[in-house]
Amino acid sequence: MSPSLSEQVLKILTDAVNAPNGVPGLVFGAVNAKGETLVAEAAGVMTLDSYFALFSVTKFITGIAAMQLVQRGKLTLDNPIENVLPEIAKIKVVANDGVTLTEPKTKITLRMLLTHTSGFGYSFFEEPLAKYMMARSDGKDEFAGTREGVLDMPLVHEPGAAWTYGVSMDWVGEAIMRVTGQTLEHYCAENIFKPLGVTEVKWRVTPENRGRLVDMYSRLPDGTIVKRDLFTHELPEPADTPRFQYGGMGAFASLPSLLRVFSALLSGDPALGLSAETLNEMFTDQFDGVRVKLGGDALNVTGTFAGRPDLTPAFVGDSSRKGFGLSWLILHDGLPNGRSPGSATWSGMANCYWALDRTKGIATIMLGQLLPFGDPAVTGAYYAAEGAVYRSIPSA
């Protein structure tokens, strides 16, 4: 008798844990558009009840919130976002020397922020930003947990001129807070999670969830794995009155909570508060003529600066065709494991990965808490587990 899908996935995860210098733990889940959990398994130090720092997996949540507000007329995609965030008009472009600043000629829009074409970067990917941040007298950076550490960063190129991954979604989170008068956590709780019956996605570690929080780990250059500080900063203020919440990397959640949201995205669940037209726009490649810095039609990273190799390495991309929707990557080429062309996908720095395939009605998620990003043991296990899901579905 062939092993069941659950047995196959559990073996994949367990093998990744038990291998020499294996990962501390992993959880994987898949869901369909009917809300049915196709598989959910955990191995190592993690369980299906574990609580994870999502890092950039947060971005898809912020994108949903922003597009709800576009539908409601509170935000617009193509008007200057300085109408909501006047301070963004003061941001300048930093030169390669990390010192010289010039005025941008183009106004930043919400569409640019959602597609990472605004010109904002991360200092661990962009050498001019690394130089600029190192020279700051306050020592703050993207991980300082403060508004100043993120929203005082300069641009690295003219808005709209290229695709550069960075703090754009943190600015989106700030815009959401500004137009609603609520924290990002509170807005998302009331307008995304509560309508879906999800209660535990937070922008902080609450006392009731602290015991479920997974430790953070690092793989050292020799391959061994050690515990490390989480370095995701909890808010010092009461939850209802923080000055800043990361729209790009601040959320915590469990696997079941994320599966519920992805099922709603697959089905177009009205409880999500997004029309079919809005969802289709979010899944549409927005580049159409935009020059993509990373090479032609594909977002192929070729020698990206690695300012923090303990967090993320320099990338070498593949040749598959990619684009960007309104807050996530769009794959124009399918994957050999079964993932369809047109699927949306993104990831989080601590080796968290997700994909949403509307063609076949499947969403998959792998959650780890291991640095640096792109650990081959995790990405290999994710690819294999996702492939098992596709093979289990006759129509896939």
> Does residue 396 lie in a domain region?
no
| Phi, psi (degrees; rounded to nearest 5) at 391 | -65, -25
Quickly state the pLDDT bin for 252 (edges 50, 70, 90): very high
Compute the mean pLDDT over every residue in the chain, rounded to the nearest whole number: 89
348, pLDDT greater than 60: yes
Residue 105 is part of which domain span?
Answer: 5-391
Task: Summarize pLDDT for 173-227 with one digit per residue, the tens.
Answer: 999 999 999 999 999 999 999 999 999 999 988 888 889 999 999 999 999 999 9
Residue 294 placed within a domain: yes
Mean pLDDT, residues 362-388: 97
Q: At what angle do helices 58-71 and 168-180 cross, to 10 degrees?
A: 40
Cβ neighbours of residue 107 closer than 8 Å, sequence gap 6 or more: 80, 81, 82, 89, 159
Is residue 54 predicted with pLDDT exceeding 70? yes
Give the other-Cβ count within 10 Å of 119's Cβ.
25
Q: What is the pLDDT of residue 136?
A: 73
Is residue 362 one of the residues assigned to a domain? yes
- Whole-angstrom Cα distance, residue 264 to residue 196? 8
What tokens appear for 154 in the block? 């300069």
- The answer on pLDDT for 240 being more than 70 is no
pLDDT of residue 300: 52
Distance CA(45)–CA(43), nearest Å, equals 7
pLDDT at 319 over 90: no
pLDDT in tens, 74-100: 999 999 999 999 999 999 999 999 999
Torsion of CA 179, 182, 183, 185, to 10 degrees: -110
* Number of domains forming the structure of the chain: 1
Instruction: Specify if 341 maps to a domain.
Output: yes
pTM over 0.75: yes
- In angstroms, the CA 396 to CA 392 distance is 8
**How do 101-102 and 93-94 pair as beta strands?**
antiparallel
Weakest mean pLDDT among 139-143, 163-167, 363-367:
139-143
Q: Give the list of residues 6+ apart from residue 162 with CB closer than 8 angstroms, or none.
A: 117, 119, 290, 291, 292, 293
Q: What distance in Å separates the CA atoms of residue 133 and residue 154, rounded to the nearest whole number?
A: 10
**pLDDT on residue 238:** 44
Which strands form 225-228's sheet, in the order they lie side by side? Answer: 225-228, 216-219, 370-371
pLDDT grade for 298, boundaries at 50, 70 and 90: very low
CATH number at residue 289: 3.40.710.10
